């Protein structure tokens, strides 16, 4: 899918785009944040990559900045599988879950989501959820003075939402820090905490659960423009049909 400034694509293992995505994951999670230990694996271009055993059970999405085709952000969705999800062995998850029909068979996980450092948005840009030229609105400022580009975040979540709707995964878990979870809730995404904060990780994070149906209800009541954005491709496909 396209937005004004970004192109969102699902990338397939074995392709050059997938290798670029794994290189970007290494840059963010291993080099920049230090959250994942580097395994010394290299792409065909000789650059370090980050990958794990959950990748084969996942669908992978990348946002490319149209102006120069650089990677601006990415995310994977770990699908339900016999080996379980990444968060289930690393975080405490309280049961029963807030949705009675949420089971292992229909819960995925939003994982390895990141925005490239130079695409993080300024605090002063708040209030324009799907607009903003990155070239003019994202000068080099200290990390604490920037905010994630809303068009970019919303575009990635649109990919997640439409994937889950298409394959019948009604719920997703996600481990998030308080800053990012507040941003998403402010945008109208009904993330519900389902466990205590894990202080052993940096920054401290907890697991949240989100429902595809509740996204539609919440955005329909609060942010109709965002809901239209999330459902844009669905509406186009229905019209074409």
CATH number of the domain enclosing 135: 3.40.630.30
Helix axes 212-222, 150-167, angle to 10 degrees: 130
Residue-range definition of the domain harbouring residue 21? 6-240
Largest CA distance in the chain: 50
Rounded mean pLDDT, 112-130: 64
Are 192 and 99 spatial neighbours (Cβ–Cβ below 8 Å)? Answer: no
Region of poorest pLDDT, from 94-98, 143-147, 218-222? 143-147
Say if 1 falls within a structural domain.
no
pLDDT over 60 (residue 136): no
Q: What is the pLDDT of residue 121?
A: 55
Say if 182 falls within a structural domain.
yes
Given the structure tokens 């509740």, which residue do they identify?
Answer: 214
- Cα→Cα distances 200→89, 203, 204, 232, 238, Å: 14, 9, 7, 40, 47
User: Which carries the bigger pLDDT value, residue 237 or residue 228?
Assistant: 228
pLDDT over 50 (residue 141): no
- Report the alpha-carbon distance of residue 43 to residue 161 in Å, rounded: 30
Rounded mean pLDDT, 62-79: 96
Number of domains in the chain: 1
pLDDT over 80 (residue 100): yes
Q: What is the pLDDT of residue 151?
A: 83
Say if 28 falls within a structural domain.
yes
Say if 22 falls within a structural domain.
yes
- Report the alpha-carbon distance of residue 66 to residue 26 in Å, rounded: 22
- Residue 240 is classified by DSSP as H
Q: What is the pLDDT of residue 67?
A: 92
* Token pair recorded at residue 123: 């605090």
Say if 90 falls within a structural domain.
yes
- Report the alpha-carbon distance of residue 236 to residue 165 in Å, rounded: 15
């Amino acid at each position: 899918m396209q937005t004004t400034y970004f192109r969102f694509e699902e990338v397939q293992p074995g392709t050059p785009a997938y290798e670029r995505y794994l290189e970007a994951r290494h840059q963010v999670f291993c080099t920049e944040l230090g959250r994942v230990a580097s395994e010394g694996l290299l792409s065909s271009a000789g650059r370090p990559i980050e990958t794990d055993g959950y990748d084969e059970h996942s669908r992978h999405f990348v946002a490319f900045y149209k102006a120069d085709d650089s990677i601006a952000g990415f995310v994977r969705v770990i699908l339900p599988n016999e080996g379980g999800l990444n968060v289930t062995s690393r975080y405490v998850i309280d049961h029963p879950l807030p949705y009675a029909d949420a089971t292992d068979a229909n819960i995925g996980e939003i994982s390895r989501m990141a925005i490239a450092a130079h695409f993080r948005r300024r605090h002063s840009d708040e209030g324009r959820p799907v607009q903003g030229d990155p070239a003019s609105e994202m000068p080099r400022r200290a990390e604490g003075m920037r905010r994630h580009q809303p068009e970019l975040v919303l575009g990635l979540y649109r990919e997640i939402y439409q994937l889950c709707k298409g394959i019948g995964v009604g719920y997703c878990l996600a481990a998030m820090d308080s800053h990012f979870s507040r941003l998403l809730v402010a945008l109208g995404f009904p993330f519900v905490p389902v466990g205590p904060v894990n202080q052993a990780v940096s920054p401290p994070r907890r697991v949240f659960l989100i429902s595809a149906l509740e996204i539609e209800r919440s955005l329909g009541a609060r942010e109709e423009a965002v809901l239209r954005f999330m459902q844009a491709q669905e509406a186009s496909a229905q019209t074409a049909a």
